[in-house]
Chain A
Amino acid sequence: MVKTNINLFAEGEVVYTDGGVLAEFVWVLVVLPFIAALIITFAGKSLPLKGAEIALGTIAIIFIYSLALMYLHVTEGVANEFFINVGNIGQFDIEFGWVVDGLSIMMYFVVGLVALLVFIYATNYMEGEIRYTFFFTSLTLFAGSMLVLVSSPTLIQILIGWELVGVCSYLLIGHYWEVKDNSSAAMKAFITNKIADVGLMIGIIILALNTGTMRISEILYQATHDYPAIKNVAFVAGVLLFIGAMGKSAQFPLHVWLPDAMAGPTPVSALMHAATMVTAGVYLLARMFPFYQGIANEALDIVMLFGVITLLTAGLIAIVQDDLKKVLAYSTVSQLGYMVAAIGSGAYTAALFHLWTHAFFKALLFLGAGSVIHAVHSNSMLEMGGLRKVMPKTFSTFIIGTVALAGLPPFAGFFSKDEILASFNHEGETTFFFIAVLGAFITAFYMTRAVCLTFLGEYRGHGHPHESDSMMTTPLVVLAVFAAASGWVNIPGVYTGFTKWVTTRKNPIIEYHPESFDLFALGLGLTAGLLGIGLGYYLYQLQGSAETGDDKIKIEPIWKVLENKYYIDDFYFKFIIDPIKLNMAKAVDAFNTNVIDRFVNGFGQLASFMGVIVYNNIDQNGIDKVLNMSSTGTDSFGGKVKLLQTGRTQQYLMLFLGGVVTISLLILFII
Chain B
Amino acid sequence: MEIFEIVTYFVLLALLSTAIRVVTTSNVIHAAISLVFTLALTAILFLMLSTEFVALVLVLVYIGAVIVLFLFGIMITRAPLGKNAELDNDKNKKLGAAIAGSIFLLFSYILINGFDGDVTITSGSSTELLGEILLSRFVFPFELVSFVLLAALIGGITLARKDEALIDEDQV
Report A's interface with B, CB cutoff 8 A: 45, 50, 86-87, 128, 130-134, 592, 596-597, 599-600, 606, 609-610, 613-614, 643, 650-651, 654, 657-658, 661, 664-665, 668
Question: Would you call A610 and B89 a contact (CB within 8 A)?
Answer: no
Residue B94 at the chain A interface, CB threshold 8 Å: yes
Complex-state Cα separation, A651 to B109, whole angstroms? 26
A610: nearest chain-B partner, CB-CB = B101
Given contacts A86-B140, A654-B96, 11 further A-B contacts (CB under 8 A): A128-B172, A130-B171, A599-B98, A606-B97, A609-B98, A610-B105, A613-B98, A613-B102, A643-B91, A650-B92, A654-B92
B105 to chain A, nearest CB (A): 6
Contact A130 B94 (CB under 8 A): no
Does A657 contact B94, Cβ atoms closer than 8 Å? no
Contact of A600 among B94, B102, B169 (CB under 8 A): B94
> For residue A664, which residues in chain B have a CB less than 8 angstroms away from its CB?
106
B residues apposed to A, CB below 8 Å: 89, 91-92, 94-99, 101-103, 105-106, 109-110, 140, 169-172
Bound form: Cα–Cα A592–B102 in Å: 15
Q: Which of the residues B89, B98, B172 comes within 8 Å of A596, measured between beta carbons?
A: B98
Say yes or no: B95 contacts A658, CB within 8 Å.
yes
A86: B residues at CB distance < 8 A: 140
Q: What's the Cα separation between A600 and B94 when bound, in Å?
A: 8
Distance in Å from the Cβ of A372 to the closest Cβ of chain B?
25
Whole-angstrom distance from the CB of B149 to the nearest CB of chain A? 16
List chain B residues, Cβ under 8 A from A650.
89, 92
Cα distance, A261 to B169, chains bound together (Å): 26
Q: Please tell me if the beta carbons of A596 and B170 are within 8 angstroms of each other in the complex.
A: no
What chain A residues lie within 8 Å of B109 (beta carbons)?
Answer: 668
Known contacts: A128-B172, A131-B170, A657-B99. The answer to whether A665 contacts B94 by CB under 8 A is no
26 A-B residue pairings within 8 Å (CB atoms):
A87-B140, A130-B170, A130-B171, A132-B172, A133-B170, A133-B172, A134-B170, A596-B94, A600-B94, A609-B98, A609-B101, A610-B98, A610-B101, A610-B105, A613-B98, A613-B102, A614-B105, A643-B91, A650-B89, A654-B92, A657-B99, A658-B95, A658-B99, A661-B106, A665-B106, A668-B110
Q: Which 3 A-B pairs have the closest CB atoms?
A: A661-B102, A131-B170, A610-B101
Nearest Cβ on chain A to B110's Cβ, whole angstroms = 8
Please tell me if the beta carbons of B103 and A661 are within 8 angstroms of each other in the complex: yes
Which chain B residues lie closer than 8 Å to A610 at the CB level? 98, 101-102, 105
Q: Flag if B99 contacts A45 (CB, 8 Å).
A: no
B95 touches A592 (CB 8 A): yes
CB contacts (< 8 Å) of A596 on chain B: these are: 94-95, 98
The CA-CA distance from A63 to B169 in the complex, in Å, is 32
Find out whether the CB atom of B92 lies under 8 angstroms from the CB atom of A45. Answer: no
Residues of B contacting A130 in the complex (Cβ-Cβ under 8 angstroms) = 170-171
CA distance A613 to B106 in the complex (A): 12
Contact A654 B99 (CB under 8 A): yes
Chain B residue numbers with a CB within 8 Å of A132 are: 170, 172
Which residues of B sit under 8 angstroms from A614, Cβ to Cβ? 105
- In the docked arrangement, what's the CA distance between A613 and B102, Å? 9
Q: Which residues of A contact B95 (CB under 8 A)?
A: 592, 596, 654, 658
Residue with the greatest number of chain A CB neighbours at <10 A, chosen from B89, B91, B92, B99? B99
Minimum Cβ distance to chain A for residue B155 (Å): 13
Residue among B94, B96, B97, B171 with max Cβ neighbours from chain A (10 Å) = B94
Closest to B107 in A: A664
Q: How far is the CA of A132 from the CA of B140 in the complex (A)?
A: 34
Closest to B170 in A: A131
Q: What's the Cα separation between A476 and B171 when bound, in Å?
A: 28
CA distance A597 to B169 in the complex (A): 54
Cβ-defined contact, A665 with B102, below 8 A? yes
Known A606-B101, A658-B99; contact A45-B172, beta-carbon cutoff 8 A: yes
Separation of A599 and B45 alpha carbons in the complex (Å): 37
Determine the residue in chain B with the shortest Cβ distance to A588: B95
Q: Which residues of B contact A643 (CB under 8 A)?
A: 91
Question: Which residue in chain B gives the minimum CB-CB distance to A592?
Answer: B95
Cβ contacts under 8 Å, A128 to chain B: 172
B166 CB to nearest chain A CB (Å): 10
A657 touches B103 (CB 8 A): yes
Shortest beta-carbon distance from A127 to chain B in Å: 9
Q: Which residues of A contact B110 (CB under 8 A)?
A: 668
Task: Say yes or no: B172 contacts A668, CB within 8 Å.
Answer: no
Set of chain B residues within 8 Å of A134, measured between Cβ atoms = 170
Q: What is the distance, in angstroms, from A670's C-beta to the closest C-beta of chain B?
A: 13
Give CA–CA (A592, B92) in the complex, Å: 10
- The CA-CA distance from A597 to B94 in the complex, in Å, is 8
| Contacting pair A45 B102 (CB below 8 A) | no
Report chain B residues within 8 Å CB of A50: 172
Report how far A398 CA is from B29 CA in the complex, Å.
Answer: 66
Contacts A86-B140, A597-B94 given: A45-B101 contact, CB under 8 Å? no
Q: How far is the CB of A184 from chain B (nearest CB, A)?
A: 20
CB <8 Å contact, A45 and B169: yes
Which of chain B's residues has its CB closest to A591's CB? B95
Tell me the bound Cα distance from A507 to B170 in angstroms.
48
State the CA gap A133–B102 with chains docked (Å): 51
Min Cβ gap B161→A in Å is 15
Cβ of B35 to closest chain A Cβ, rounded Å? 20
Complex-state Cα separation, A664 to B99, whole angstroms: 12
Docked pose: A87 CA to B96 CA in angstroms = 40
**Distance from A277 Cβ to chain B, minimum over Cβ atoms (Å):** 24
Which residues of the other chain, A, contact B96 by a CB distance below 8 angstroms? 654
Q: How far is the CB of B20 from chain A (nearest CB, A)?
A: 12
- How near does chain A come to B124, taking the closest CB pair, in angstroms? 30
Closest approach, in angstroms, between the C-beta of A637 and any C-beta of chain B?
16
Within the complex, the shortest CB–CB distance from B90 to chain A, in Å, comes to 13
Compute how far the CA of A614 lies from the CA of B98 in the bound complex, rounded to whole angstroms: 11
B158 nearest CB across to chain A (Å): 11
Instruction: For A609, list chain B residues within 8 Å (CB).
Output: 98, 101
Identity of the chain A residue whose Cβ is nearest the Cβ of B172 in the assembled complex: A132
State whether A668 touches B94 (Cβ < 8 A).
Answer: no
Which B residues are in CB contact (< 8 Å) with A592?
95
Q: Which residues of A contact B169 (CB under 8 A)?
A: 45
Write out the residue numbers on chain A whose beta carbons fall within 8 Å of the beta carbon of B172: 45, 50, 128, 132-133
How many Å from the CB of A174 to the closest CB on chain B? 14
A4 vs chain B, min Cβ distance (A): 34
Q: Which residues of B contact A45 (CB under 8 A)?
A: 169, 172
Measured between beta carbons, the chain B residues less than 8 angstroms from A658 are 95, 99
C-alpha gap A613/B172 in the complex (Å): 61
- Complex CA–CA separation, A651 to B95 (angstroms): 10
Q: Nearest Cβ in chain A — how far from B111, in angstroms?
A: 13
Question: B133: shortest Cβ distance to chain A, in Å?
Answer: 15
Minimal beta-carbon separation of B91 from chain A (angstroms): 8
Q: Across the interface, name the chain B residue whose C-beta is closest to A133.
A: B172
Question: By CB atoms of chain A within 10 A, which of B89, B91, B95, B171 has the most?
Answer: B95
Closest A residue to B113 by beta carbon equals A668
Q: List B contacts of A665 (CB < 8 A).
A: 102, 106
Q: How far apart are the CA atoms of A224 and B101 in the complex, in Å?
A: 54
State in angstroms the CA–CA spacing of A599 and B101 once bound together: 14
Q: Please give the distance in Å from B157's CB to the nearest CB on chain A.
A: 13
Please give the distance in Å from B49's CB to the nearest CB on chain A: 28
